[in-house]
Amino acid sequence: MLHLTSYSGGTDYDVVVVGGGPAGLTVAINHAGLFGHKVLNVENEAPGGAAGTAVNVIDNHFGFPDGIAAGELAQRGLRQALNMEVEWLPACRAESLSTLKELDAGDGQPPLRRLRVAACHDDGRSVELSAAAVVLAGGVAACRQGGKHKRDYEGRGVYDMALPADA
């Protein structure tokens, strides 16, 4: 697990992005780099999400005609985010999302909301964050088959797959 962090210890952000996989890092890079927003990216584990842990060469990614190792893609994504001054907070799990307050936008406009994200570091410390926008990019968790004894089959040549080619 990568514990490199650029988290300043702040609590107020324009955007909090939950999840540092390809989706989360892309959103963070765009909000910080394109719009100049103050962005915090909270990641439970390591950068790159599922793409960061894959061992294959990713050969369908725009801009990499010869493919790129998944781990390298993840590290490049994180470096790009850090270059854009995204604050990166790894080993921290977002646990709840709620409305902190509503601000009157006037002119019959819907109220502007300030959102609250409660998160917990690996070591048990909690952190409360507030943001104008929160992006949930937590990916998906595999839904294993096998019912009651599913753990018995792991690593024993029984595979779960959802691709048509594997049906």
Of 16-24, 28-36, 100-108, 150-158, the window that binds ligand FAD (rule: CB under 6 A) is 16-24
Q: Is 91 in the site for ligand FAD (CB under 6 A)?
A: no
Q: How far apart are CA 83 and CA 98, in angstroms?
A: 30
Q: Which is nearer to ligand FAD, 69 or 84 (CB)?
A: 69
DSSP state of 60: S
Name residues contacting ligand FAD, limited to 17-36 (CB under 6 A): 18-24
Q: How far apart are CA 76 and CA 158, in angstroms?
A: 34
DSSP state of 109: P
Q: Is 44 in the site for ligand FAD (CB under 6 A)?
A: yes
Q: How far apart are CA 88 and CA 33, in angstroms?
A: 14
3-state SS, residue 93: strand
Sole binder of ligand FAD in the list 37, 45, 81, 129 (CB under 6 A) = 45
Q: How far apart are CA 162 and CA 79, in angstroms?
A: 32
Q: Which is nearer to ligand FAD, 23 or 84 (CB)?
A: 23
Within 13 Å and on the Cβ side, how many CA atoms surround 69?
Answer: 5
Of 3-11, 14-22, 76-84, 158-166, the window that binds ligand FAD (rule: CB under 6 A) is 14-22
Q: Is 90 in the site for ligand FAD (CB under 6 A)?
A: no
Tell me which residues touch ligand FAD (CB under 6 A).
Answer: 18-24, 42-45, 49-51, 54, 56, 58, 60, 93-94, 137-139
